[in-house]
Amino acid sequence: MKVNGEDFRTIWMDGQSVFMIEQNLLPFDFQIHESKTYFDTCFAITTMIVRGAGAIGAAAGFAMAQAMLEAPNEGFMDFVLQAKEDIEATRPTAQNLFYATNRVFKAGTRSVDAAVKEAQLIANEDAHNSRLIGKFGNELIKEKTNILTHCNAGWLAFVNYGTALSPIYMAHKEGKEVFVYVDETRPRGQGAKLTAWELKNENVPHVIVPDNAGAYLMANKMVDMIIVGADRIARNGDVANKIGTFSKAIVAKELNVPFYVAAPSSTFDLDCPNGDDIVIEKRSEEEVLYQTGIDSNGNLAKFLVSSPGSPAFNYAFDVTPAKYITGFITEKGIIKPLAQSIKRICKNDE
């Protein structure tokens, strides 16, 4: 995608360093962050410098490759195994993270060079699959469609193109009249900060809405469909995604609004029977109690926006049962949220 007329991927590796767009600074400032070691990349994942299913997967793959490059000859495997454990502890809900570390680790048993090539391949596949998701998802979008999104599953959340936003970008480029209601997505505001920034950058008509406005919008026929991303999809079709997704799906089902989940096959976890087996990440309460914005001097600052001294819960994800999902938009086409359909597209990857 282009930023100020220049082509960018969300994340890439050059030499032993991993470069990524610093998402904590967006939309106020655009900077590139460099991670020189695998542990630097782990820090970037944990602190959400890089975020989103595909981008986390690419980062994890690159981190695994960095660990292979850094490992000493004596104690090589001990170093690599510890690195793998460190990387996989960064964001435990994200299936793409484990998918990438396992692939790169396996390649690394052949050679370090093979590990680096595998990490690059995973990133390229992510971009390619996101483009295909856009192609298939575009077929669902009519000439005039109002779409509700939650969190960010655009190109910033993947290596390029994105998942939930990829069909929207393709529809817009074809001249379809699309309009996007962007959930702000508390507590970190990925919708208000990242999705809105992307859509504005691509000149896609949109408006930011409070997270709790969805039911009103749907009840008043203002939303034709919902497209969200996913961080892990269980074998039975249950979906872990950003907290607040489940409530949107319940309302959509009640009001007959199609609810689609856009995700590559790498996000499906056949080893996870259902949503009860998905580990839900719990993050710092500071993300709820404080907000980041621009102060009166134009500087990025953190502000307390809650009652001083009150505690907060901060579960990063919730699980939407398969029965609330209309379909999955994948790089292999659109499928129903059925175990046999999921098994079929995942088998094709073997």
Give the per-residue pLDDT at 303.
96
Burial 101-122 (b: 16+ CB within 10 A, else e): bebbbebbeeebebbbebbbeb
Whole-model pTM? 0.95
The architecture CATH gives domain 135-347: 3-Layer(aba) Sandwich (3.40)
pLDDT value for 2: 85
Dihedral in degrees, nearest 10, Cα atoms 131, 134, 135, 138? -170
> How far is 280 from 93, CA to CA, in rounded Å?
6
- C-beta contacts of 246-252 below 8 A and 24+ residues apart: 246/318, 246/319, 246/320, 246/324, 247/214, 247/318, 248/148, 248/150, 248/183, 248/214, 249/320, 249/324, 249/325, 250/324, 251/214, 251/215, 251/218, 252/218, 252/226, 252/324
CA dist 59 and 65 (Å) reads: 10
For 30, 97, 127, 293, 301, the CA distances from 296, given in Å and listed in that order, are 20, 39, 39, 10, 10
Adjacent-strand bridge partners of 209: 183
Task: State how far the Cα of 240 lies from the Cα of 70, in Å rounded to an integer.
Answer: 33
Helix 166-173 and helix 112-138, axial crossing angle in degrees, nearest 10:
50
Tens digit of each residue's pLDDT, the chain (350 residues): 889 889 999 999 999 999 999 999 999 999 999 999 999 999 999 999 999 999 999 999 999 999 999 999 999 999 999 999 999 999 999 999 999 999 999 999 999 999 999 999 999 999 999 999 999 999 999 999 999 999 999 999 999 999 999 999 999 999 999 999 999 999 999 999 999 999 999 999 999 999 999 999 999 999 999 999 999 999 999 999 999 999 999 999 999 999 999 999 999 999 999 999 999 999 999 999 999 999 999 999 999 999 999 999 999 999 999 999 999 999 999 999 999 999 999 976 55
Give the type of residue at 252.
A
Strands 333-335 and 17-21: unpaired
Q: What is the DSSP string of 316-330?
A: -EEEE-GGG--EEEE
Q: Check residue 5 and give its pLDDT.
A: 86
Q: What's the pLDDT at 1?
A: 84
Residue 213, beta-bridge partner list: none
Predicted local confidence at residue 185, as pLDDT: 97
**N- to C-terminal Cα separation, the chain:** 30
Nearest to 170 by CA among 140, 196, 146: 140
- The label of the residue with tokens 């208000």 reads 192
Taking the CA of residue 98 as centre, how many other CA atoms within 13 Å lie in the half-sphere pointing to its CB? 16
In sequence order, what are the beta bridge partners of 13? 18
CB 147 within 8 A of CB 179: yes
Alpha-carbon gap, residue 128 to 126, rounded angstroms: 5
Based on the residue annotation, tell me whether 231 is a catalytic residue of this protein.
Answer: yes
Give the residue extent of every domain in the chain: 2-130, 135-347
Catalytic residue among 231, 238, 269, 318: 231
CA pair distance 153, 179, nearest whole angstrom: 16
CATH topology for 2-130 is Four Helix Bundle (Hemerythrin (Met), subunit A) (1.20.120)
